Amino acid sequence: MALLLGLLIFSFSVTSASIVPFINLLYRLKFRRHNQKTRDAFGKLTPIFDKFHHLKAGTPVGGGLLIITLVSLLFAILFPLIGILGVPVTQVYSVLDEINIIFFTLISFGLLGLYDDTMKFFRVRESGFFGLKLRHKFIIQWILALVIGLLLYFNLGIDIINIPFIGVFHLGWLFIPFAALVIVSFTNAFNVTDGLDGLAGGLLMIALFAFWFLSASILDTPLSIFLALWLGSLIAFNYFNVYPARIFLGDVGALSFGATFAVVGLLVGKTAALVIIGGLFVVEVGSSLLQLLSKKLRGKRIFPAAPAHLWLQLIGWEEPKIVMRAWLAGIILALFGAWLALI
């Protein structure tokens, strides 16, 4: 455990030293949020969202790219050194296959998000040149998620879901579409949650501590090391992302982190715990989905505003209050989910 804590602190230190120069670079590249009208999944204007977010225009976007890059490089350098130094490495799966799946998820979804960010912030989409529409992004997410599901099933032999108090169920090949559904769901859940300063990043940090504990309990060294490096980098990022944020994750971070969070839950074998530990992500995307379906099928809204954090803003809650209370709820859900996973 001392090694893992040391890696977390080292990752935190490296990211802390890198993030201010990176923010300055984003300013020079003009890679930042524009003050423009937003639209929902059906192309309708979202005036309530714009009302609360127009002041965030000009803030650099792309913190996810820095975290993905640093975590990948640090893991590539440090993990081989651990073996050379004779530190015992315990494993649940084939080490190489597990590492490949983790970083394929982290990087592939990150590239998808980076492409989408580039289209938005350089306004390439407006010209119609290689613009990525919502349905195209959704299809690509499913393709990537199915590839990951195939790798989990065939390369690692995972085909189970563990439901507390009920038992373990072997899904066979059905695990592939099930895993893809989990990955796509959390990818979009995280993206929807990433709407307030510090909200998504803070909730992810809390949830990852729970899975870090679970990965250590099953003696999965590669996963534990990855989570230690990810957590250290994320903590440093959150210092600059809390209200008022100096940098945002962007789609490059939101899509990558949501998908990777889901894969971590699948690797640990605790899908039910994943839903509990990431419960606020589920609430956020659930409220948004219900709102969209209601507007599409009934022609009217079911909530005054969606997702849930936007509704709280509308009724008068200040942004820091929403985020801090969400963090507290996230801590309780993380503890409860970890407890369920150990039963």
**Mean pLDDT rounded to a whole number for the chain:** 90
Alpha-carbon gap, residue 163 to 334, rounded angstroms? 16
Distances (CA, A) of 254 to 39, 116, 123, 154, 210: 18, 11, 20, 27, 19
CA distances, 270 to each of 1, 265, 276 (Å): 22, 6, 10
Structure-token match 């996230």, residue found: 330
pLDDT at 115: 92
Residue 182 pLDDT > 90: yes
Confidence of residue 83 (pLDDT cuts 50, 70, 90): confident
Determine the structural domain holding residue 97 and report its residue range: 2-342
Min mean pLDDT across 34-48, 90-104, 299-313, 322-336 is at 34-48
Percent of the chain surpassing pLDDT 90: 70
Task: Answer yes or no: is pLDDT of 130 > 50.
Answer: no
Residue 70: pLDDT over 70 = yes
Q: What is the pLDDT of residues 213-257, one digit of tens each?
A: 999 988 899 999 999 999 999 999 999 999 999 999 999 999 999
Per-residue pLDDT of 273-302, as tens digits, reads 999 999 999 999 999 999 988 888 888 888
Considering only 32-41, 95-104, 115-124, 201-210, which range has the smallest mean pLDDT?
32-41
Q: How far apart (Å, rounded) are the C-alpha atoms in residues 168 and 205? A: 28
**pLDDT score of 94 more than 50:** yes
CB 281 within 8 Å of CB 190: yes
Q: Which two tokens stand for residue 164?
A: 């507390």
Are the C-beta atoms of residues 134 and 39 closer than 8 Å to each other?
Answer: no
Most confident of 46-50, 64-68, 168-172: 64-68
Number of structural domains found in the chain: 1
pLDDT at 117 over 70: yes
* CA distance linking residue 72 with residue 263, whole number of Å: 16
Rounded CA-CA distance 32/59 in Å is 5
Please tell me the distance from the alpha carbon of residue 262 to that of residue 6, in angstroms, as a whole number. 25
What is the arithmetic mean of pLDDT over 191-212? 97
- Mean pLDDT, rounded, for 65-90: 91
pLDDT of residue 127: 42
With a pLDDT cut of 70, the percent of the chain lying above it is 90
- Please choose, from the candidates 233, 223, 247, 213, the residue with its C-alpha nearest in 3D space to the C-alpha of residue 105: 223
Q: Tell me what pLDDT residue 124 has.
A: 55
Name the phi and psi angles at 315, rounded to 5: -90, 5
Q: Is residue 183 within 8 Å of 148, Cβ to Cβ? A: yes
pLDDT at 119: 83
